[in-house]
């Protein structure tokens, strides 16, 4: 059921996005860090399968395309729109076209597994994104699997609330119960919280990364009378909307809001005192790293069956570090991403 609050939610998200200038990373001060543009040789074409229309997925594509442009690689993008049959058709389309590599971002394990099989039969290298290395663990062969440390994030949230707000119950508005990152983060957060014994989980629902659903669930949570002092929301856009719900019920100063992303929307919330804690995980950087791994495979510097596991770090964010570009990685790809890649993944950035 839709609620009138959604009108103010749209306004809020627009306003927060407009504050990008206050928190954006990758400004003119970084221009000097930009590497020399690689000199492309043989023209390559990569296929990118995106799972759906969520902002995270769009930014991941943007990071991939940003790096591809610098290396002179053509990128074709197909969106599966959370439909398994369409996802399979997208995979088959790229295999039939004979692309030089496939970057696969599936919203569950099925698409990743299918890509590994079909592309492998056609000798096309594959790099998986946010599969939490499940395909590799299940014996499928790919060039690489790129992820953030989702379990580390979950444990970090649990550790932080145990330290800062012991004795308070927590509620969770999760992402998609079928999405591997959500499954891992949720499980690790809950397990760690139970182990620490400082905070009790009293509410746990999935949002499907939909802002309207997050608003409705938070309204239902409050209406239920459930006692909670901590609310975790799986991304910043939903967190912005939920902060309005808390405000409308006079709970904004009483409930500690945590989100996952570290996007400009979340950083603006933090500067306004509406967000207590988040973790920086830039999908643009992740997409860029996925490109670099696939490029290495297409250039035969990385075996198409290497099963390389790439784990990008989880970077905790409080107000004290909210403007540090090496701590809060912008969702817009730029020179800082090259610096971070060289620091965390030495040897991956090469000339064509």
Q: CA-to-CA distance for 20 and 295, rounded, in angstroms?
A: 31
Per-residue pLDDT at 4: 40
**pLDDT reading at 309 higher than 70:** yes
Domains delineated in the chain: 5-23+150-280 (3.40.50.2300), 32-149+283-313+330-344 (3.40.50.2300)
Q: What is the pLDDT of residues 57-80, one digit of tens each?
A: 999 999 999 999 999 999 999 999
Per-residue pLDDT at 299: 95
Cβ proximity of 193 and 164 under 8 Å:
no
Looking at the chain, the whole-number percentage of residues with pLDDT higher than 70 is 87
Q: Give how far Cα 196 sits from Cα of 234, 236, 257, Å.
A: 22, 26, 20
Residue-by-residue DSSP string for 159-170 = HHHHHHSTT--E
Counted residue by residue, the chain has a size of: 352
Other C-beta atoms lying within 10 Å of the C-beta of residue 143: 25
pTM above 0.85, yes or no: no
Residue 99 pLDDT class (50, 70, 90 cuts): very high
Four-CA torsion 299, 304, 309, 315, nearest 10 degrees: 40
Cβ proximity of 72 and 352 under 8 Å:
yes
Q: CA-to-CA distance for 103 and 75, rounded, in angstroms?
A: 10
Residue 39 pLDDT class (50, 70, 90 cuts): very low
Three-state DSSP string of 198-237 = CCCEEEEEECCCCHHHHHHHHHHHHHCCCCCCEEEECCHH
The mean per-residue pLDDT over the stretch 281-310 comes to 96
Q: What is the pLDDT of residues 87-97, one digit of tens each?
A: 999 999 999 99
Element (H, E) at 174: strand 170-174
Q: Which of 39, 71, 43 is nearest to 293 (CA)?
A: 71
More confident: 347 or 93: 93
Residue 25 pLDDT class (50, 70, 90 cuts): very low
Other C-beta atoms lying within 10 Å of the C-beta of residue 65: 21
Per-residue pLDDT at 317: 87
Residue-by-residue DSSP string for 7-61 = HHHHHHHHHHHHTHHHH-SS-GGGGGGPPPPP---S--EEEEEE--S-HHHHHHH
Mean confidence (pLDDT) of the chain: 87
The mean per-residue pLDDT over the stretch 315-326 comes to 75
The radius of gyration of the chain from alpha carbons, rounded to an integer in Å, stands at 20
Residue 168 pLDDT class (50, 70, 90 cuts): very high
**pLDDT reading at 6 higher than 80:** no
- Here the contacts of 237-240 (C-beta below 8 Å, separation 24 or greater) are 237/13, 237/55, 237/211, 237/263, 237/265, 238/173, 238/207, 238/209, 238/210, 238/211, 238/214, 239/265, 239/266, 239/269, 239/275, 239/278, 240/9, 240/12, 240/13, 240/16, 240/265, 240/266, 240/269
Token look-up 């699997």 returns: 145
Q: Which of 63, 52, 150 is nearest to 107 (CA)?
A: 52
Per-residue pLDDT at 55: 87
Q: CA-to-CA distance for 232 and 258, rounded, in angstroms?
A: 5
The mean per-residue pLDDT over the stretch 199-209 comes to 96
Element (H, E) at 185: helix 180-196
């Amino acid at each position: 059921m839709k609620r009138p609050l959604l009108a103010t939610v749209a306004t809020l998200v627009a306003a927060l996005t407009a504050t990008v200038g206050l928190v954006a990373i990758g400004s003119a001060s970084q221009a000097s860090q930009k590497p020399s543009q690689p000199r492309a040789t043989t023209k390559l074409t990569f296929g990118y399968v995106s799972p759906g229309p969520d902002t995270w997925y769009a930014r991941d594509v943007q990071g991939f395309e940003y790096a591809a442009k610098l290396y002179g690689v053509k990128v074709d993008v197909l969106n599966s729109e959370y439909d398994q049959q369409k996802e399979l058709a997208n995979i088959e389309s790229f295999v039939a076209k004979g692309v030089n590599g496939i970057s696969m971002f599936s919203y569950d394990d099925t698409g990743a597994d299918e890509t590994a099989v079909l592309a492998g039969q056609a000798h096309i290298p594959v790099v998986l994104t946010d599969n939490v290395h499940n395909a590799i663990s299940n014996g499928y062969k790919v060039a690489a699997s790129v992820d953030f440390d989702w379990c580390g994030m979950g444990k970090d949230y649990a550790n932080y609330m145990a330290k800062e707000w012991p004795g308070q119950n927590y509620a969770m508005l999760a992402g998609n119960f079928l999405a591997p990152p959500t499954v891992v983060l949720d499980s690790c957060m809950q397990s760690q919280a139970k182990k620490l014994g400082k905070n009790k989980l009293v509410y746990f629902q999935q949002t499907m990364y939909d802002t309207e659903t997050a608003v409705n669930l938070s309204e239902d949570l409050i209406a239920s009378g459930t006692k909670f002092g901590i609310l975790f929301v799986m991304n910043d856009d939903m967190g912005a909307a939920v902060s309005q719900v808390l405000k409308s019920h006079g709970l904004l100063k009483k409930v500690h809001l945590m989100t996952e992303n570290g996007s400009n929307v979340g950083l603006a919330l933090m500067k306004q005192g509406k967000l207590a804690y988040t973790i920086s995980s830039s999908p643009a950087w992740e997409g860029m790293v996925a490109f670099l791994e696939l490029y290495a495979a297409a250039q035969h510097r990385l075996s198409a069956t290497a099963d390389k596991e790439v784990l990008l770090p989880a970077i905790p964010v409080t107000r004290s570090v909210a403007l540090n570009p090496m701590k809060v990685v912008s969702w817009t790809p730029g020179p800082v991403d090259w610096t971070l890649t060289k620091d965390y993944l030495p040897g991956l950035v090469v000339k064509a």
